[in-house]
Amino acid sequence: MINGMIDLRSDTVTLPTEEMRQAMFEAVVGDDVYGDDATINELEQLAAEKFGKEAGLFVPSGVMSNQLALFTHVQRGEEVILPDNCHIVAHEAGSAAIIAGAQLRSVQNAAGEMPLDIVEKYIRKDPEDIHQPKTALITYENADSDGQVRSVEYMKKVWELAKKYGLPVHVDGARIFNAAAYLGVDVKEMAQYCDSMSVCLSKGLCAPVGSVLVGSREFIALARRKRKILGGGMRQAGILAAAGIVALTKMTERLKEDHENAAYMTERLTEVPGIEVYKERQQISMVFFRLAGFPLDSDGLVKYMLDNGVRINGEDNGIMRYVTHRYVSREEIDKVVELMKKA
Ligand SMILES: *Cc1c(COP(=O)(O)O)cnc(C)c1O
């Protein structure tokens, strides 16, 4: 339950835990623009260590983290190769054009994976040709916004291809801990195949605010300057970082519960007449289905569920998505299934 409702819209709706609230209350803080906030410094160092990188940077949101990565890796007019349905292309309000001034060269992808032969084809090969833009970065998500996980082998292949052409790789790891839990690997194993990674503290990990960007010392120093340009230099923000530390130390292991609950929900939803459940798409905390002869349309279902104490999003491209998280229990999943059967 979240504020009296069952909320399946996203893992972004999660609230800070009691332990987070206590840590926030007690946090030692200072002016982070002067580098004086001990709690921020601790979070940034902790993140760097967890991902096997030299440095970390605390930022207010995942969008800012991705955009800082672009702003730092890419010069105006240079190209970024990325999947055409990724967050940077589809959900960041066109900010790559505004902030980094990047040209996005998007790759069509069926199940979220950019085919590597196309990526290689898209890399600009002739820096002497004054007509050609320069390729500056390859980026992709793990897990992606469709809840699909890229394998470590795929990450390695992208990395090897990028390095063949001397290019950096940024991974949008908003849900990297979900991906790691699904694959049963340490996040370090994944992060070794990128130059920078963005990690969300505020989704399944339940922190109220923030992401961390990790990378080399040099990269993070540049990104810190760019964060100031974006107005992202915060003062006594250790009050937020304190929750982030709890997120990174206490909340990553329990994500597999959310995945198990999503598997349970997937299974139970197959009992509901008039919907088609995409069983094979359930990897992390996301469940996908389609209305196929259901008595209500998408808007009707959203309203019916809301009237019965359940928040859901309507269909996106014809597909419904329910997301599990720390505040969704098995009993609540049962209730949701019963409600849908009753409809
Ligand atoms: C949530 C998310 C982000 C960050 O979005 P915010 O709204 O800034 O938190 C970035 N990339 C992916 C893949 C995401 O799911």
Q: In sequence order, what DSSP letters do the residues of 221-281 get, joined into one string? A: HHHHHHHHHTT---SSTHHHHHHHHHHHHHSSTTHHHHHHHHHHHHHHHTTSTTEEE-GGG
* Span 203-258, pLDDT tens digits: 999 999 999 999 999 999 999 999 999 999 999 999 999 999 999 999 999 999 99
Residue 293: both structure tokens together = 């002869």
Ligand 1 and 62: CB distance under 6 A: yes
Task: Check whether 127 has a pLDDT greater than 90.
Answer: no
Ligand 1 and 145: CB distance under 6 A: yes
Residue nearest atom 5 in ligand 1 by C-alpha distance = 62
The span from the CA of 116 to the CA of 214, in Å, is 25
The span from the CA of 306 to the CA of 321, in Å, is 15
**Is the peptide bond preceding residue 143 cis, with omega within 30 degrees of 0?**
yes
Residue nearest atom 2 in ligand 1 by C-alpha distance = 174
Atom of ligand 1 nearest to the CA of 144: 13
Distance 63 CA to ligand 1 centre (A): 6
Atom of ligand 1 nearest to the CA of 61: 8
pLDDT value of residue 246 = 98
* Span 60-108, pLDDT tens digits: 999 999 999 999 999 999 999 999 999 999 999 999 999 999 999 999 9
Q: Which residues, 6 or more positions from 97, have their beta carbon under 8 angstroms from its beta carbon?
A: 104
Q: Mutation test of ligand 1: which of 11, 61, 87 has the most ligand atoms closer than 8 Å to its C-beta? A: 87
Place 265 in a pLDDT band, splitting at 50, 70 and 90: very high
Question: Phi and psi at residue 196, in whole multiples of 5°?
Answer: -145, 150
Task: Check whether 54 has a pLDDT greater than 80.
Answer: yes
Mind listing the domains of the chain with CATH numbers? 16-251 (3.40.640.10), 254-342 (3.90.1150.10)
3-class secondary-structure state, position 57: strand
Q: What is the torsion angle, in degrees rounded to the nearest 10, for the CA atoms of residue 228, residue 207, residue 203 and residue 266?
A: 180
Q: What is the 3-state secondary structure (H, E, C) of 300-314?
A: HHHHHHHHCCEECCC
Question: Phi and psi at residue 131, in whole multiples of 5°?
Answer: -80, -25
Atom of ligand 1 nearest to the CA of 66: 10
Question: How much of the chain, in percent, has pLDDT values that exceed 90?
Answer: 98
Asked if 39 and 241 count as a contact pair (C-beta separation under 8 A), the reply is yes
Cβ count near 90 (within 10 Å) = 12
* Span 299-342, pLDDT tens digits: 999 999 999 999 999 999 999 999 999 999 999 999 999 999 99
Residue nearest atom 4 in ligand 1 by C-alpha distance = 62
The span from the CA of 41 to the CA of 43, in Å, is 6
pLDDT value of residue 145 = 85
Asked if 189 and 35 count as a contact pair (C-beta separation under 8 A), the reply is no
The span from the CA of 243 to the CA of 142, in Å, is 23
Asked if 212 and 64 count as a contact pair (C-beta separation under 8 A), the reply is no
Distance 132 CA to ligand 1 centre (A): 31
Atom of ligand 1 nearest to the CA of 63: 8
* Span 131-184, pLDDT tens digits: 999 999 999 999 998 999 999 999 999 999 999 999 999 999 999 999 999 999
Ligand 1 and 87: CB distance under 6 A: yes
Question: How much of the chain, in percent, has pLDDT values that exceed 70?
Answer: 100
> What is the rounded average pLDDT of the residues 253-274?
98
Residue 216: both structure tokens together = 């080399």
Task: Check whether 111 has a pLDDT greater than 80.
Answer: no
pLDDT value of residue 112 = 78
> What is the rounded average pLDDT of the residues 31-59?
98
Q: Which residues, 6 or more positions from 259, have their beta carbon under 8 angstroms from its beta carbon?
A: 178, 181, 182, 283, 284, 285, 324
Atom of ligand 1 nearest to the CA of 175: 15
Residue nearest atom 3 in ligand 1 by C-alpha distance = 62
Average confidence score pLDDT of the chain = 97
Rg over alpha carbons for the chain, rounded to the nearest Å, is: 21
> What is the rounded average pLDDT of the residues 255-262?
98
The span from the CA of 165 to the CA of 76, in Å, is 20
Ligand 1 and 61: CB distance under 6 A: yes
